[in-house]
């Protein structure tokens, strides 16, 4: 493999990895605060992308109007789902997990029935379709945008978590729910804030993802949601840097596997699940070795 070919794979892998990292953060924020594996995260992702497309297609809005509206609706939906479906089950670990799966299926089927099951083109700024050529290496503008947006969001998130009151409260709740309550933290407020953050990340991730892979349908969230979840587990679920690193390595690894072993393209997913199982068996805390928490839901 020559250098330009390797760089081309690197360009592809970094973009895919950043996308996974962006989505993985949504899982980890919720898990960190509530202890819930939010299986419906991929569907929040889909809802944001789908509504953006719907606004453009049906109401002829430009994407920069349609996307913020879709994002707000997604955030509200996240809060609503938490209130009516997750909150009543919060004490029961298994039930809330099943509840999250049900919400995922419910949202998917709702969109199939009331909108359309057909894949539709995703509206995105035309500049993202441009490609910069560096010698033999093609560098799509959308890849640059994905990496830049991801970095900005990571910085914002780390600022929120480390420097603001609500961020400190989030960390307190994730360490010890009862003690933080005694210290005057309102857990409901913190959990609501976690859902706002998580769904916002899902919405931005969806916009970047669908700008790169330019179509959307009710199944859009399933696969990236699953991959990002695996990324979060590999990194150490509950840890924000863990989700970033895990998601990033997973995306990069998927591309590099094909780069170095072209005959193994069919085993791309096998590789992903294999890594997951190995991690669960031998290092359940993930790369960042997050402490096993017994009690939270």
Partner 1 sequence: MKKHVLFSVVILFALVLASCAPAAAPAEAEEAAVEEVVVEEAVVEEAAVPDTIRIGVNETMTGWGAPYGDMTWKGIQLANKHKPEVLGSPVELILVDNKSEKSESALAAQRLVEVEKVVAIIGVNSSSMAMAQNEVLDKVGIPAIGPACTNPLVTLDKPYAFRAAFIDPVQGWAAAKYATEEVGAKTAVLLVDITLDYCVGLSNYFRTNFIEMTEDDHSILGFFSFQTGDRDFTAQLTQIKALDPDIIFAPNEYAEEAAILQQAKQLGITAPFLAGDSADVPELLEIAGENAEGFAYTAQFHPDGYTHPEAVVFIDGFREDYDMEPETFSVTGYDAYMILMDAIEKAGSTDPDAIKDALAVTNFVGARGLTVFDEEGNGLLGVPVIKVVDGKKTFRYIADPE
C-alpha 201/C-alpha 52 separation (Å) is 15
Please report how close the Cβ of residue 221 comes to partner 1 at its closest, in angstroms.
11
Max Cα-Cα span within the chain: 61
C-alpha 104/C-alpha 122 separation (Å) is 22
Please report how close the Cβ of residue 108 comes to partner 1 at its closest, in angstroms.
10
By CB under 8 A, tell whether 131 contacts partner 1.
yes
Q: Which range touches partner 1 (CB under 8 A), out of 21-29, 109-117, 175-183, 192-200?
A: 109-117
Q: How many residues contact partner 1, by CB under 8 A?
A: 51
Q: Which range touches partner 1 (CB under 8 A), out of 65-73, 76-84, 117-125, 182-190?
A: 117-125
206 in Cβ contact with 226 (< 8 Å): no
Nearest to 206 by CA among 3, 35, 68: 68
Task: Indicate which single residue of 65, 156, 277, 278 sits in contact with partner 1 (rule: CB under 8 A).
Answer: 277
Q: Residues for the chain: how many in total?
A: 297
- For partner 1, the binding residues in 23-62 under the rule CB under 8 A are 37
Please report how close the Cβ of residue 2 comes to partner 1 at its closest, in angstroms.
8
Residue whose CB is less far from partner 1, 182 or 292: 292
Spatial CB neighbours of 36, under 8 Å, sequence gap ≥ 6 = 30, 86, 90, 96, 97, 100, 297
C-alpha 43/C-alpha 26 separation (Å) is 12
DSSP 8-state code for residue 138: E
By CB under 8 A, tell whether 272 contacts partner 1.
no
Task: Indicate which single residue of 83, 87, 93, 168 sits in contact with partner 1 (rule: CB under 8 A).
Answer: 93
Spatial CB neighbours of 176, under 8 Å, sequence gap ≥ 6 = none
Positive or negative CA dihedral for 240, 241, 244, 247? negative
142 in Cβ contact with 210 (< 8 Å): no
By CB under 8 A, tell whether 102 contacts partner 1.
no
Q: Which range touches partner 1 (CB under 8 A), out of 5-13, 48-56, 66-74, 173-181?
A: 5-13
By CB under 8 A, tell whether 206 contacts partner 1.
no
Q: Which range touches partner 1 (CB under 8 A), out of 82-90, 118-126, 158-166, 181-189?
A: 118-126
C-alpha 276/C-alpha 281 separation (Å) is 9
Residues at the interface with partner 1 (CB under 8 A): 5, 8-9, 12-13, 16, 37, 93, 97, 101, 112, 116-121, 129, 131, 133, 138, 140, 213-215, 217, 219, 222-223, 226, 233, 237, 254-255, 257-259, 262, 265-266, 268-269, 273, 276-277, 280-281, 284, 292-294
């Amino acid at each position: 493999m020559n250098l330009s070919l390797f760089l081309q794979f690197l360009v592809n892998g970094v973009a895919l990895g950043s996308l996974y990292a962006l989505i993985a953060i949504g899982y980890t924020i919720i898990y960190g605060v509530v202890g819930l594996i939010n299986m419906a995260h991929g569907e929040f992702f889909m809802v944001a992308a789908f509504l953006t497309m719907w606004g453009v297609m049906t109401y002829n809005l430009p994407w920069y109007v349609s996307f913020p509206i879709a994002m707000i609706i997604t955030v509200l939906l996240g809060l609503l789902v938490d209130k009516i479906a997750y909150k009543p089950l919060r004490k029961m670990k298994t039930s809330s997990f099943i509840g999250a799966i049900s919400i995922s299926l419910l949202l998917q089927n709702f969109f199939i029935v009331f909108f359309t099951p057909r894949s539709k083109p995703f509206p995105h700024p035309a500049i993202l379709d441009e490609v910069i050529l560096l010698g033999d290496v093609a560098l799509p503008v959308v890849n640059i945008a994905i990496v830049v947006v991801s970095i900005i969001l990571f910085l914002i998130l780390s600022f929120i978590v480390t420097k603001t009151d609500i961020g400190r409260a989030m960390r307190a709740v994730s360490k010890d729910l009862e003690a933080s309550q005694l210290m005057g933290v309102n857990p409901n407020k913190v959990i609501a804030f976690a859902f706002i953050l998580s769904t916002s990340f899902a919405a931005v991730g969806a916009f970047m993802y669908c700008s790169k892979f330019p179509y959307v349908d009710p199944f859009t969230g399933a696969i990236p949601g699953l991959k990002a979840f695996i990324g979060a587990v590999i990194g150490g679920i509950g840890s924000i840097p863990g989700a970033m690193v895990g998601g990033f390595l997973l995306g990069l690894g998927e591309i590099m596997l094909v780069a170095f072993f072209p005959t193994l393209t069919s085993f791309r997913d096998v590789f992903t699940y294999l890594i997951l199982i190995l991690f669960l068996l031998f290092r359940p805390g993930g790369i960042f070795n997050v402490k096993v928490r017994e009690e939270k839901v």
